[in-house]
Amino acid sequence: MLKGKIAKLAVSDVRFPTSLEQHGSDAMHANPDYSAAYVVIETDDGLKGYGITFTVGRGTEIENEDGRGEKGHSEPPRSGMKRGHKKEMLKEGYPAYTTSCAWLGYSDQQLTQLCSTALTEGWTKFKVKVGADLQDDIRRCSLIRKMIGPENSLMIDANQRWDVAEAISYVTKLAEFRPLWIEEPTCPDDILGHAAISKALAPLGIGVATGEQCHNRVMFKQFLQASALQFVQIDSCRVGSVNENLAIMLMAAKFRVPVCPHAGGVGLCELVQHLILFDYISVSASLENRMCEYVDHLHEHFKSPTVIRNAHYMPPKDPGFSSEMFDESVQKHQFPHGEVWRSILEKNGS
């Protein structure tokens, strides 16, 4: 039994200026700076633990001050880890989709270039940010669909932009591009609104994906009971710890709804890869309609970065939760006194 006691706790406001190149831009966040409240806990016998909560810049200081909310506890996992599934993951990895090609603020030229590169790298599943302007979205979805062809998967994400009636009308007009799902079509707390959208879009073969903003397992239970989503999007930082995410995955398995986690951000890909492997090996034992988001930004700041091979997450080989950042990265990107932010603020005259 470990006998060490917590001797030190350090919290850093770490922000990356992704807004400078429109990385992460969507219908609700035009100029996000991907950021994190980064916590290091040290015991009196020298052990360290690392934790991250992702933000888009403004609000990180709140996370630094705030405690965790409603905590989850895990139900006993289904017995019988299947060796064949474990070997399959070690050899082939877990299927991923990319959001990196089609942020809302990207030009058509940039979108085309990134999509073309992704296709050569083996990507077959693409997500497009939508919701700000219908005609613009029709043009961008048309461009992406023509590039990836009819056999590859296309998803769209509105980041909560619409009300219920607007979501149904808007997505119906994008149905010609055959999106697999519409993600966060309306307020993330509106469970019955999502149910209405799901029912309206079902004849079009378009599912609803949501969950990255759900703050506890009870909300997920109600979404599942109301048939308000067809894809469960857990987030590795949103709910109360790994345990609560395990409970959500077990509920999703009970309702036979696939788990397709939200990732990207600062460290979210590094964290969520552990959850998807557990889901496949110990809970669902299925890859049907399952994939995990991948965003190709900021992995270089982590000591155990995500490894993608042929558009699949490869199982991490280092111990731990893959959340430790390089000290140099943390120091340079501390807000507002780190080297990177001092330079930016001086240029802006702040």
Ordered by where they begin, the domains of the chain are 6-71 (3.30.390.10), 83-313 (3.20.20.120)
The residue from 29, 127, 194, 262 that is catalytic is: 262
Indicate whether this model's pTM tops 0.75: yes
Task: Among 65-69, 70-74, 88-92, 138-142, name the one with the lowest average pLDDT.
Answer: 70-74
b/e map 267-286, b = 16+ CB within 10 Å = bbbbbbbbbbbbbbbbbbee
CA dist., res. 130 & res. 183, Å (int): 10
The single residue listed with the structure tokens 């091979």 is 309
Residue 320 φ/ψ, nearest 5 degrees: 100, -170
Q: Are 18 and 297 in contact (CB under 8 A)?
A: yes
The single residue listed with the structure tokens 């979210």 is 268
Residue 31: band (very low, low, confident or very high) from pLDDT cuts 50, 70, 90 = confident
Cα–Cα–Cα angle for 302, 304, 310, rounded to 5 degrees: 105
- Tell me the one-letter amino acid at 238: R
The residue from 23, 129, 312, 333 that is catalytic is: 129
- Tell me the one-letter amino acid at 296: D
Is 194 a known active-site residue? Answer: no
Residue 65: band (very low, low, confident or very high) from pLDDT cuts 50, 70, 90 = low
Q: Are 54 and 36 in contact (CB under 8 A)?
A: yes
Is 129 a known active-site residue? Answer: yes
Task: Among 13-27, 200-214, 288-302, 331-345, name the one with the lowest average pLDDT.
Answer: 13-27
At 213-270, the pLDDT tens digits run 998 999 999 999 999 999 999 999 888 889 999 999 999 999 999 999 999 888 999 9
Residue 70: per-residue pLDDT: 45
Among residues 212, 244, 267, 262, which one has the least CA distance to residue 51? 267
Residues in the chain, total: 350
The single residue listed with the structure tokens 């299927």 is 95
